[in-house]
Structure 1
Amino acid sequence: MKKNADVVIIGGGLAGLTCGIHLSKMKLQVILIEKNEFPKHKVCGEYVSNEIKPYLDWLDLKIQDLNPTTITELEFSAPNGKLIHCTLPLGGFGISRYALDYHLYQKAIENGCEIIHDTVEDIDFKNDVFTVSTSDAKMFIAKIAIGAFGKRSNFDQKLQRNFILKKAPWLAVKGHYKGDFRNDLVGLYNFEGGYCGVSKVENDIINMCYLVNFETFKKFKNIDDFQTNIIYKNAHLKQIFTNSTPLFEKPLTISQISFEEKTAIENHILMVGDSAGLIQPLCGNGMAMAIHSAKIASELITDFFTNTIKSRKELEEKYTKSWNYNFKKRLRTGRFLASLLQNKTKSTFVMWLLIQFPFLLPRIIKRTHGKPITLNY
């Protein structure tokens, strides 16, 4: 089977689905290929910065129908339990990937985006077109290909991307719980070898998602042992975990997470979301960045098909420039902050500094977030 389209999107996470919605809204013929069915839980902090809200409204996404929590405050804790509070400069909302991804999926279909559940086996670029082959022997021909295959994929290996060749030392663990936690608060609690984000999503559910260095984690037999011996040393985390009831049979995990630099273009494929760059979760901005990157790519692709952008070279140059302008400094700041928190001496000094000068924390947050998206249409 062979089928033609204007754009083929590989991956149906936040960035891929957002591209599908946007480009279909602009009347382009879009095929999105995603191996998993919807809805599905994913390892994620599940906090979305309000900087992208104007864009979500333009896409006609009815996020309020999903009953997200409104989050305005941050609680930050050192491993020894010392706390700092601040008001988030922009604020945001809490929504599960289970609910949000499914909402985007339904909107993409409504807009006319064709979604195919299959596994991509190969992407070939030749004679200025892409040929995408799947495990079900399907073949898709398109002028533009978007890579939205997430943090780590077999295609990163096939493309021999630099980050995939380096050791990725991070493991993430996520669970949903019932318990007592403020609706308007996102908590960031540090422990030896990592940190945990806690916030409410829809239906009064608490999302707890932590990132840990695998060298720290592997000293223990299982997740329960690790949590008891390491995470519970932070009194705030111990109280939250021990007074909450898990809703999953077992936590979700993902390993080999890399925060190394990536490139926004690989073999003429436009990378979006985590495929283009993964920000440290402590910044609380990964979901917003994924959606924002989809906006940038979709606008430029639309200009390409309306001949406002005259060539593939111009398209790729403009996307790379725009991606770097919007996200490169944020990613660099995230890596720097994470390196400080992983060093016990430095993290103690940072905590002391923030306690003495509490106005610094909102300023640091601003360096990992953008201004509210402005729309020119």
Structure 2
Amino acid sequence: MFSWMARMAAACWRPVRRYARMSKDEEEDDALLWSRDVERHSGGEYSFAVVQANESLEDYSQVETGRDAIFVGIYDGHGGPDASRFISDHLFVHLMRLAREGGTISEDIIRRAFSATEEGFLALVRRTHEIKPLMAAVGSCCLVGIIWKGTLFAANLGDSRAVVGRLGRSNAIIAEQVTEEHNASLESVRRELMASHPDDSHIVVLRQGVWRIKGIIQVSRSIGDAYLKRPEFRVDPSFPRFRLPEPLRRPVLTAEPAISVRVLRPQDKFLIFASDGLWEHLTNQEAAELVHKYPRAGIARRLVRRALEEAMRKREMRYEDLKKIKKEARRFFHDDITVVVVFIDSEFSPGQTAGGCQMSVRGFVDSAGPSEFSILDGM
């Protein structure tokens, strides 16, 4: 029995190839691109890819697979990686603790997990404020997708996005966005901000053709960005990038996620979760059609590559030229990009995870480990 369990653990949590194998003429040698080819979850398969653009990777990400569930987390940091790394280490843990206490996963449980993560990070900012004052200006978008017993919960702060690909008539694929975005470039977000701050004529400011909140930041919801939420975290005026035009009277950002709930239907074939670096270059429909057209193996990496090709085309350059550009200069051409594609092949039923594996996979980590989904067994 022990040797059988050891073999199963080795199969679940093995070291893995860093790159997915695609067609011969598309083999990668980009040292800043990491991917998982295709892995099993309890209701199908998934593919995972990340490309780095910033000098320090600010996209943290994870996939957690359970006996009858899957969790996808994409955390797109700004101002540094501290907030996105913190979310990766704490959000799923909070979610599992609260789900175990409540006996289920629900919108309320997810909101409380986000709130606990936000409060934890703000406490870290407070503890380190004297020695690392710019921690108050570090934040992260946060996209979470959970499929729990046939229901999709999609929660979002910021401008990452989740899209479902469903079959329409004549087996044509239809892209349907299932998350709400919070970016001042959207008129609806600007109206929301102005309605909640009627006495602040500078709540959104157009600078060099870009709408920004207080002239500083584009996203209106995030984890972190403490100096835009609480006066105690005021950033020293010697850092002009984060200088507010007047003292903060009340929060201008929030960590309240927008959550959508969808009972999955037979027509729902896959989900694409991605940071905004992908959606800057591909539409929802373009991404869904690419996933529908090509083999599953390496499909997340194919999406990333297509976005990079489009980014270079806009500069009248080739993708091959991009691979020669050093890490510290890549941000001038594209953002960090994270993509997870989850294929839905069957109903999520207890005990159906392939090989009994409950795996935790992290972006840019070449081995898998056990997932804390195990604490929900029997729920």
Work out whether the TM-score is over 0.5. no
Higher relative contact order (CA 8 A, sep 6+): 2
- Please indicate the TM-score interval, normalised by the length of the shorter structure: under 0.3
Give me the TM-score of the superposition, normalised by structure 1: 0.22
Give me the TM-score of the superposition, normalised by structure 2: 0.22
